Structure 1
Amino acid sequence: MVRGLLCVVLLLATVTVHAETWPDKDWANGTPLVGVAVDALDAYAFPPRDDTTRQGIRTDALLVIRDGVVIYERYAAPTTASTPHLTWSISKSLMATVLGVAYGDKRFKLTDPVARFYPPMKQHPTVTMADLLHWASGLDWQEDYEYAPLKSSVVAMLYTRGRANMAEFAADTEASVAPGQAFRYSSGDSNILSAALKGMLGHKAYVSYPWDALFKPLGIRNATWETDADETFVASSYAYLTARDLARVGLLMARDGRWGDQQLLPQDWIAFNRQPFEQYKAGQDEAVPGGHWWLNRPIQGAPRPWSDAPADTFAALGHWGQALYVMPDEQLVIVRYADDRDGSYRHNELLKRVLAAVQP
């Protein structure tokens, strides 16, 4: 009996408890990355920059968090650690995260018709919240920027006839297929989601909700989110955060919606975010769509989009090279801000070099 108790004590004494590290007012600094692999990462992410042509890879910020501490951080002027950077379409995943808090508060169900919260969608009565989150509203949306601006729905929404009320402009788009049947990337879908959130909450609560529900609990102190003239957050495009603050959202997602002792996002919401949209056809986009996040999942026999990154990698991605990558099993969160203009940047190449740099 004594021998058995002694064995238990010895066993317990050999168990190493991994204590999670969380940022307080700021991130703790871990052991900085050094070595040849780090030099290779620097060479790829921060090549000499020509501001006259705006060609090539133009990284503004690169931040790597592992196990809740900063292990790599570099900026290119004029961006600094205190610069709230335009996130472009990372804003879409931020809105999905804000909606996750509302979902946990029972404000809506994924199967709810959007028209329940946003009356202009009564002309599309069967479109659900899940359809919008999958970019599968069925609306005939054109998401072209530089290549076809005259026919672009998103250019019209952001800059010309739709800019005063972006969600209403998107809702007025005709349907091309039944909702939920096909993936079609759409900034309009994201802005309708933002208007639906306002309908759930009422205007007074809505105007501070991203801060009350998400930013303040995470300790994010320097965030800006522009609205249109109807005072609806432009969920498609116009959130600004520092790299360090955006990394807090990544850590929340890496740890399945937990922040410290609080389950800020329901686990079934995280599971929805990270589940591939069933109707997505392999190769339609640079990564596989989940619930307003992008996934590195192999589907329909196709290889995973970022072959050198783990299959559990997922990301929020934005125009001109903005990216928030999350690798849960590796406990890695990577933020990249950029001003890429020519398509030379490759997600997989950066992730491969980061993984090589963090190897012991």
Structure 2
Amino acid sequence: MCKGLSLFLLLISFTVHAEPWPDEQWPTGQMITDTEALESYAFAARDDTTRQGIRTDALLIIRDGQIIYERYAGPTTAQTPHLTWSISKSLMATVLGVAYGEGLFKLEDPAARFYTPLAQHPKIKVADLLHWASGIDWQEDYEYAPLKSSVVAMLYTRGHRDMAAFTADHPTYAEPGQAFRYSSGDSNLLAAALKTIVGPRYADYPWTALLEPLGIRHAVWETDASGTFVASSYAYLTARDLARVGLLMARDGRWKDRQLLPRDWVAFNLEPFAGYKAHQDEAVPGGQWWLNRPADGAAAPWPDAPPDTFAALGHWGQALYVIPGEKLVIVRYADDRDGSYRHNELLKRVLKAVRP
């Protein structure tokens, strides 16, 4: 081997191993002290009788692989696996990325190849499900409009025993891959497809493929009665464990000296869906992740955050924000019921607190 190549490989090795990585515990950096503006927003007093106002259960800030801020409230502690709600969708996408790296499927594969009830929707591709663009007619209304809500019926009433089958039985409203419509059903179809993709390893696969390599030991992920992971909603992780997933994505799918996720998978996750029309949601959809990118001529969703910011988001204010250019990973757990919380406001205050 030539000397130049040897030196190059040595420098790569040094760079990888010089980065801070969590082992059993996270390393701690210089803690931020200018937190008054941040905490006055995140931990403002709230009327818990009426559930009006912002309620943050956990706020954790990681910079360059080290904890620089951490605070918990209410019953939540550093050891509490918190319900992540729709952050589970991004987590399933990350699990699927490991299977993709094993060569077990392609983005352009028909989803019906891996989940036979989708034979009635033969044009849907795996990529379409990842983009929430299956074309399946789905109403993602919550407790405010439960009678017409597909997701309430899936999680709690007639669809709860087999959520993917319930979703597949819906009619279509558009050609697959042509239009974005946020759908917890699409995410649960991905979880059902994973059963065929990985076969008998399915029950353990999220742990052996992703969670254990990241050092996550106490995650809980509920299944429905058919044994399918509820990828839309029911993963529970501590804030510190969820931050490991954020660090993996921030570092382009690499964990220490292992490329756990293929780089092209991460790039797909973070590419805006071409069929998205602005003003349909607070952020721009990628592959089961949310992006702070302009779309359809509109401004960036979170104007006070850098354009490379992306996030996994969940009901009632759950959030995992990643800002690669600032080397930041932020986890927020919450119980926001009145809709007053704003992602941009928290991100603006975090950035002000961490910047010199």
Structure index of larger Rg:
1
2:262 is the counterpart of 1:271: no
Once residues 295 and 235 of structure 2 are traced to their aligned partners in structure 1, the CA distance between those partners, rounded to angstroms, is: 31
Cross-structure match for 2:351: 355
Question: How far 1:48 moved relative to its partner?
Answer: 1.4
Question: How far 1:357 moved relative to its partner?
Answer: 0.2
Cross-structure match for 1:4: none
Match of 2:185 among 184, 188, 196: 188
Cross-structure match for 2:8: none
Q: Residue 51 of structure 2 contacts residue 337 of structure 2 at CA under 8 Å; is this kept in 1?
A: yes
Once residues 59 and 138 of structure 1 are traced to their aligned partners in structure 2, the CA distance between those partners, rounded to angstroms, is: 35
What is the Cα-based RMSD across aligned positions, in Å? 1.3
Cross-structure match for 1:19: 18
Match of 1:144 among 127, 141, 146: 141
Match of 1:340 among 333, 336, 340: 336
Normalised TM-score (structure 1): 0.94
2:42 is the counterpart of 1:53: no
Please list every run of at least 4 consecutive aligned residues from structure 1 whose deviation after the TM superposition is greater than 2 angstroms.
Answer: 16-19
Question: 1:319-351, CA deviations, whole angstroms, 9 ceiling, x for partnerless residues?
Answer: 000000000010000000000000010000000
What secondary structure does 2:60 align onto?
Answer: strand
What secondary structure does 2:147 align onto?
Answer: helix
Question: How far 1:307 moved relative to its partner?
Answer: 0.1
What secondary structure does 2:18 align onto?
Answer: coil
Q: Residue 154 of structure 2 contacts residue 166 of structure 2 at CA under 8 Å; is this kept in 1?
A: yes
Aligned length: 343
Cross-structure match for 2:102: 105
Question: How far 1:53 moved relative to its partner?
Answer: 1.2
Question: 1:133-170, CA deviations, whole angstroms, 9 ceiling, x for partnerless residues?
Answer: 00000000000002211011000000000000000000
What is the percentage of aligned positions where both structures have the same residue? 76
Question: How far 1:19 moved relative to its partner?
Answer: 2.7
Cross-structure match for 2:305: 309
Once residues 315 and 234 of structure 1 are traced to their aligned partners in structure 2, the CA distance between those partners, rounded to angstroms, is: 20
Once residues 170 and 78 of structure 1 are traced to their aligned partners in structure 2, the CA distance between those partners, rounded to angstroms, is: 35
Q: Residue 88 of structure 2 contacts residue 234 of structure 2 at CA under 8 Å; is this kept in 1?
A: yes
Once residues 253 and 169 of structure 2 are traced to their aligned partners in structure 1, the CA distance between those partners, rounded to angstroms, is: 34
Once residues 284 and 114 of structure 1 are traced to their aligned partners in structure 2, the CA distance between those partners, rounded to angstroms, is: 25
Cross-structure match for 1:243: 239
Question: How far 1:284 moved relative to its partner?
Answer: 0.9
Question: 1:31-89, CA deviations, whole angstroms, 9 ceiling, x for partnerless residues?
Answer: 11112xx1100100001132211110000000000000000000002000000000000
Match of 2:119 among 106, 119, 122: 122
Kindly report which structure 2 residues correspond to 1:294-305, keeping only aligned pairs within 5 A, or say none. Answer: 294-305=290-301
Question: How far 1:18 moved relative to its partner?
Answer: 9.7
Normalised TM-score (structure 2): 0.95
Paired amino acid for 2:76: T
What secondary structure does 1:317 align onto?
Answer: strand
Cross-structure match for 1:28: 27
Once residues 304 and 90 of structure 1 are traced to their aligned partners in structure 2, the CA distance between those partners, rounded to angstroms, is: 21
Once residues 81 and 134 of structure 1 are traced to their aligned partners in structure 2, the CA distance between those partners, rounded to angstroms, is: 32
Paired amino acid for 1:30: G
Once residues 104 and 333 of structure 1 are traced to their aligned partners in structure 2, the CA distance between those partners, rounded to angstroms, is: 24
Unaligned runs of 5+ in 2: 1-10
Q: Residue 16 of structure 2 contacts residue 257 of structure 2 at CA under 8 Å; is this kept in 1?
A: no
Cross-structure match for 2:229: 233
Paired amino acid for 1:352: K
Kindly report which structure 2 residues correspond to 1:314-325, keeping only aligned pairs within 5 A, or say none. Answer: 314-325=310-321
Paired amino acid for 1:274: L
2:196 is the counterpart of 1:199: yes
